[in-house]
A and B are shown apart, each in its own frame.
Chain A
Amino acid sequence: MKETILAANKSGRCAVIPFITAGFPSRDTFWETLTQVDAAGADIIEIGIPFSDPVADGPVIEDISRQVLAQGMTLDWVIDGLRARKGTFRAQLVLMGYMNPFVQYGLERLSADCSAVGVSGFIVPDLPLEETPEFREAIAPYGLTLITLVGPNTTTERMKQYAPFSKEYVYVVSVLGTTGGVNKHVETVADTIRRARSVFDVPLALGFGLCVPEQLDALPPDARPDAAVIGTALLRHIGNGGSPASFLAPWVRSN
């Protein structure tokens, strides 16, 4: 995934990482929507595995999680669907989900299945460094990646503790808040990115509260991310009947 992000950067743009909750906008249309997101030029796609109690998420993604769970969405369904479509996506795929559904699936089984269906890694928002050993041990034999998350209140010292375990890219949470929350203080975002840049030797993806590429232009040139994660705003757009392509167009255009 590191190479994918660097390639996008080489072509003069920030890499684009859309997030979409599995089963959204509906069970029947999810795979078609995912295909459209892929075709719209996503570099990496985060597929959200819904959980009943998503503490890191804001109201939009929490509501969507509840909706898709009510339709019977499960991790097994996602894995089966990916198996059936293996090799059809241009973008690399990452599963983003809370620990409990992964634990119940079984971490070893999860690793084996994800590796088999073409998933490259995981983002687990409730798994800080101290709790990662079992997860890392399970995915290691399959060459899968656990993406590191850091935020504005992650000290440089703590980033250094993360550094040896941080592969492919690091997810920089822009705001002390939940998904969809916007950090109005550009300087704290810039400070976080600069500090992360000084510690990590992999690309940085900025997420939480991103909607339009101009938000990145507001950052000082030396404090811009290599990739942008777009979740809540994209889901809202799709939920309102918009197409992934129209939302992602300004993001995938070379600038």
Chain B
Amino acid sequence: MKKLPQLNRPGYFGEYGGRYVPETLMPPLLEVENALTDILPSAEYQSRLSELLAEYCGRPTPITFCDRLSNELGIELYLKREDLLHTGAHKINNALGQALLAQMMGKTHVIAETGAGQHGVATATAAAKFGLKCTIFMGAKDVERQAPNVQRMKLLGAQVVAVQSGSCTLKDAINEALRYWISHQADTMYVFGTAAGPHPFPTLVRELQKVIGTEARQQMISRTGGLPDAVVACVGGGSNAIGMLYPFVQDEPVKLYGVEAGGTGEPGCANSASINLGTPGVLHGARMNLLQDSHGQIQESSSISAGLDYPGVGPEHVYLHEIGRVRYVVAYDHEALAAFRRLSEAEGIIPALESSHALAWVFAHAKDFAAGSKVLVNLSGRGDKDLAHALRFIKLD
């Protein structure tokens, strides 16, 4: 594509981001933007959110030193334990924060898209907690593949809409949620699940997820007497990664890595690595890197990890890539599966297949770090949800 000029408009990270939506979506997006600047920083919002994160979700999450793996790898490996949060992943940080925002905006209904079902479960949970009506849009294929999460959402009181349009997956669920929002904007807030989408969502989601990195940074200083040498997180849409990495961006000596999902790994395979293998374009309201053909049609992504399976990536990540602050790398399905097993066996922690990508890259590249380097990995979620899927590929004795 032709190089687009550097844009310094609000909602842009370099030349990425923006708000490419129908005019009829502008009023609700401006309403959320106002809430981001007026309600989010307010003492009332911040105190209610902190209390909920502590007493309802279990924040702060600890960091865990992996002694056995550290010995094997020759580095000091630390995990930020977002897997210990209520609902089992970092997604609740954002869902709860946006649902609280919705409540304080006077909205009575929240909607969300979900792929694997994690963000759907988190949103349904937050909606139940606040007594908000909840509708979750999920691709029909995902409804079939992720039946247990569909049941969890329903148990939590949410209505689950199986989206039959397009490729019947996450990207189509986002399209359908945006369409629904156009016609229900008066009483409804769209709780967007990742650090992508139209402005202000990439910023809003980062603000709600940066608690991960802010905590971890302080915890590393307290525990080890200094900053880590490297921080690593997996990247799909990029919410756990932006939350983990953003608070370290100004710490120049700290190396930052985002690990994308490379799929099965043979040349030309379907993947979810939009920064490494995609090109710039416009989807779901933002300029970002996309998996697309030369005519601008969006291609289907693929990953063993449903939570990374998205054909785009948050605009701030593309920016951090372009300025060279974060290095974006790739881990493949089989490497993630091996890491899934290795962390379980060596440390007694079953990681989500998403987080397993971050671990897999560290396992493969530990030798590239100076001996004893402190490497902090965001363990964004727990792997119980992935067990049935992973066991189709892993043979247990």
Are A177 and B284 in touch, CB under 8 angstroms?
A: no
Given A53-B175, A134-B5, A104 contacting B23 (CB threshold 8 A): no
In the complex, B250 has a CB within 8 A of chain A: no
Residues 173-201 of A, flagged 1 when their CB comes within 8 A of B and 0 if not, give 10111100100000000000000000000
B285 contacts which chain A residues (CB < 8 A)?
126
A134 to B292, CA, bound (A): 22
Q: Hey, what's the 0/1 contact readout for B1-13 against A, CB within 8 Å counting as 1?
A: 1101100010000
Determine whether the beta carbon of B282 is less than 8 Å from that of A62: no
* Given A100-B292, A101-B296, A134-B4: A66 touches B23 (CB 8 Å cut-off): no
Contact B182 A178 (CB under 8 A): yes
The listed residue (A101, A126, A158) touching B21 by CB distance below 8 A is A126
CB distance from A99 to the nearest CB of B (A): 4
Measured between beta carbons, the chain A residues less than 8 angstroms from B294 are 104
A181→B166 CA distance, assembly (Å):
19
Cβ-defined contact, B185 with A153, below 8 A: yes
- B178 in the interface, Cβ–Cβ < 8 Å? yes
B253: Cβ under 8 A from any A Cβ: no
Interface residues of A, CB < 8 Å — how many?
49
Residues of A within 8 A of B247 (CB): none
B42 at the interface (CB under 8 A from A): no
Q: Is A150 in contact with chain B by the CB < 8 A criterion?
A: yes
In the complex, which residues 131-155 of chain A have their Cβ closer than 8 Å to any Cβ of chain B?
131, 134, 149-155
Q: How far is the CA of A13 from the CA of B175 in the complex (A)?
A: 37
The answer to whether residues A99 and B282 also contact, given A104-B292, A104-B294, A128-B23 and a CB cut-off of 8 A, is yes
Complex Cα gap A75–B292 (Å): 15
The reply to whether the CB of A59 lies closer than 8 angstroms to some CB of chain B is: yes
CB contacts (< 8 Å) of A112 on chain B: these are none
Other-chain contact of A53, B18, B19, B298 (Cβ < 8 Å) = B298
CA distance A99 to B284 in the complex (A): 11
Cα of A247 to Cα of B297 in the assembled complex, Å: 31
Contacts A74-B295, A128-B26 given; indicate if A53 touches B185 (C-beta within 8 A): no
Kindly list chain B residues whose C-beta atoms are within 8 Å of the C-beta of A59: 165
Whether the pair A55, B292 counts as a contact (CB closer than 8 A) is no
| Min distance, Cβ B378 to any Cβ of chain A, angstroms | 29
A53 touches B179 (CB 8 A): no
Contact assessment for B297 and A181 in the assembled complex, using a CB-CB cutoff below 8 Å:
no
Q: From known contacts A125-B22, A128-B19, A131-B20, infer whether A53 and B166 are also in contact, taking CB-CB under 8 Å.
A: yes
Count chain A CB atoms within 10 A of each CB in B21, B24, B27, B281 and give the residue with the most: B24
B183 contacts partner chain A, Cβ-Cβ < 8 Å:
yes
Q: Is the CB of B18 within 8 A of A131?
A: yes
The chain A residue sitting closest to B24, CB to CB, is: A151
Interchain CA distance A106-B4 in the complex, whole Å: 10
Q: Which residue of chain B lies nearest to A155 when distances are taken between CB atoms in the complex?
A: B27
Give CA–CA (A58, B19) in the complex, Å. 21
Pairwise interchain contact B282-A100, C-beta atoms closer than 8 A: yes
Q: Which residues of B contact A100 (CB under 8 A)?
A: 281-283, 290, 292, 296, 298
Contacting residues of chain B (315-365) with chain A, CB-CB under 8 angstroms? none
- Which residues of B have CB within 8 Å of A55? 21-22, 175, 178-179, 284
Smallest CB–CB gap between A4 and chain B, Å? 24
The answer to whether A103 and B22 touch (CB under 8 A), given A55-B179, A134-B5, A178-B179, is: no
Q: How far is the CA of A151 from the CA of B22 in the complex (A)?
A: 9
How far, in angstroms, from A62 to B1 measured CA to CA in the complex?
A: 25
B171, CB-defined interface residue at 8 Å? yes
Q: Per a CB cutoff under 8 Å, which of B4, B19, B24, B165 touches A173? A: B24
A53-B284, A100-B282, A131-B19 known; A153+B166 contact, CB < 8 A: no
Cα(A155)–Cα(B23), bound, Å: 11
A105 vs B296: C-alpha distance when bound (angstroms): 8
A108 within 8 A of B: yes
In the complex, the chain A residue whose C-beta lies closest to that of B280 is A103
Instruction: List A contacts of B283 (CB < 8 A).
Output: 53, 100
Q: Is the CB of A62 within 8 A of B183?
A: no
Cα distance, A80 to B273, chains bound together (Å): 34
Q: Which residues of B contact A52 (CB under 8 A)?
A: 166, 297-298
Which residues of chain A from 59 to 97 have any CB-CB distance to chain B below 8 Å in the complex?
Answer: 59, 62-63, 66, 69, 74-76
Contact indicator A149/B23 (Cβ below 8 Å) = yes
Taken residue by residue from 163 to 195, chain B's Cβ proximity to chain A (1 for < 8 Å, 0 otherwise) reads as 001100001100100110011010000000000
Q: Are A130 and B19 in contact (CB under 8 A)?
A: yes
16 contacts between A and B (CB under 8 A): A53-B166, A53-B171, A55-B178, A56-B182, A63-B165, A99-B282, A100-B296, A128-B19, A129-B23, A131-B19, A134-B4, A134-B5, A151-B23, A152-B24, A153-B27, A177-B179
- Which residues of chain A have a CB within 8 Å of any CB of chain B? 51-56, 58-59, 62-63, 66, 69, 74-76, 98-109, 125-131, 134, 149-155, 158, 173, 175-178, 181
Sample of 14 more A-B contacts, CB < 8 Å, known A99-B282, A103-B281, A155-B27: A53-B171, A75-B296, A76-B295, A100-B281, A100-B292, A101-B297, A103-B296, A104-B1, A130-B19, A134-B5, A151-B24, A153-B27, A158-B26, A173-B22
